[in-house]
Chains A and B, each alone.
Chain A
Amino acid sequence: MLTIVLRAIIIYLIVLFLYRLMGKRQLGQMQPFELVLTLIIADLATIPMAEISVPVLHGIVPLLTLVLIHFALTLLCKCSSKFSRFISGKPVIVINPDGIDYKALKNLNLTVDDIMESMRGAGYFSLAEVQYAIMETNGKMSVLPKSEFSPLTVGDMKIKADESALPINVVAEGKVMKENLKVAKLTPDDVKNLLKKAGINRVKDCLVLSVDKAGEVFAQAYNKKYTTFSTRPLGEVSE
């Protein structure tokens, strides 16, 4: 049993390292070749874990080989758009101003129900609301609504709005985030003052304290309701 435990740890660490190496794509954003890789990796990793007579190297070597293939394919896709189209396909317009493109639908092996489902996922429930819908290579559908169904934006209203400010967590779970303090251009004394203003006596009692560029503070102590207040605007926040 100890062998299985140790093998599981080794393989887990290797698979974790390999996924970290491959980047941070989510399952839904995967290209076809990435999905294939994920499925094979999952299968390969379990064989030496469960079967003691199989050497761990029998699991590790194919995993490493697949990752090398993945990098080679990724590099080729970056270098050649033709190769990228061959491997990942290309986005296809499935709904145009004339309605559903049935030919494109058949080429993609999709049904009208699939299109409606993807449309609902994108927040549109009627075909009449959609100007264009594009089936992306990762299987997700991007929808461009007709102008009368587009969400209203500040730009449409031609009004000036304050710039969106990114809140920076300076305290999280009772600990001062030193890196974030530098980004927010605050000192430990500033943090103490902000906590005092929020009615929190000690840093370790604070669940979260965040400040944004405009000086809006959000503070919450453990098991208490949050408070918000304004303070002096921060200096230029680097992101």
Chain B
Amino acid sequence: MTRFMWFQLVSILLILGVLVGICVLEDRLVCDALSSVRSYCYQIEVAVDENDGILNNDVSTLLNNLEEKWFRDEANLCFMVNHKSIQEIGVEISRMKTYMEEGDRKEFMASLELVKLYEEQYHHFMGASFHNIL
């Protein structure tokens, strides 16, 4: 084997490794980010029902945690996905915080439903699935 052939072989293996690495990383990031959003949404729903309102520490803490986790995940997802396509959840979380301060439960719950809806919709263009491939 000539030096160029070695260079080609090493490069191909490197490219293959990089591609596999990126694909695995993307899938893990997407799964982790979306499942944590889903989980927080259900926890907030339960906390609102249990405390019969949105003006309490449980909901506030959960919402802060959701915001912190989502913005961290969003920053990582932007390496893989067009960030224009995943900005709705962040916007709705910010709205939820405003509604909580205003004590507007109806709008708060509507935004929460929207976050859940976006979380489901994001599966249509993020991560690996037969649906996305075609």
A residues touching B (Cβ–Cβ < 8 Å)? 17, 21, 53-55, 57-58, 61, 64-65, 67-68, 71
Contact = CB atoms under 8 A, between A and B. Distances in A.
Nearest to A52: B83
B8 A64 contact: no
Contacts of A53: 82-84
A64 B11 CA distance: 10
23 contacts: A21-B7, A21-B8, A53-B82, A53-B83, A54-B82, A55-B78, A55-B79, A55-B80, A55-B82, A55-B83, A57-B22, A57-B79, A57-B80, A58-B82, A61-B22, A64-B15, A64-B19, A65-B19, A68-B12, A68-B15, A68-B19, A71-B8, A71-B12
B14 to A, nearest CB: 9
- Of the four ranges (under 10, 10 to 19, 20 to 34, 35 or more), the interface on chain B belongs to 10 to 19
A54 B82 CA distance: 5
Interface string B50-84: 00000000000000000000000000001111111
A71 B15 CA distance: 11
A68 B18 CA distance: 12
Contacts of A61: 19, 22
A131 B16 CA distance: 49
Contacts of A55: 78-83
Contacts, number: 31
A196 B37 CA distance: 81
A55 B11 CA distance: 23
Given A65-B19, A68-B12, A68-B16, 6 more contacts: A55-B78, A55-B79, A61-B19, A61-B22, A64-B18, A64-B19
- 3 tightest A-B CB contacts, nearest first: A53-B84, A64-B15, A21-B11
Nearest to B87: A53
Contacts of B22: 57, 61
Contacts of A67: 15
A60 B19 CA distance: 10
A71 B10 CA distance: 13
A204 B79 CA distance: 51
Interface string B1-14: 00000011001100
Interface in B26-63: none
A17 B15 CA distance: 12
Interface in B78-129: 78-84
Contacts of B83: 53, 55
B52 to A, nearest CB: 42
A163 B8 CA distance: 36
Nearest to A74: B8
B33 to A, nearest CB: 15
A57 B84 CA distance: 15
Contacts of B12: 68, 71
Nearest to A61: B22
A17 B12 CA distance: 12
Contacts of B84: 53
A53 B11 CA distance: 29
Nearest to A53: B84
Contacts of A71: 8, 12
A108 to B, nearest CB: 33
B60 to A, nearest CB: 32
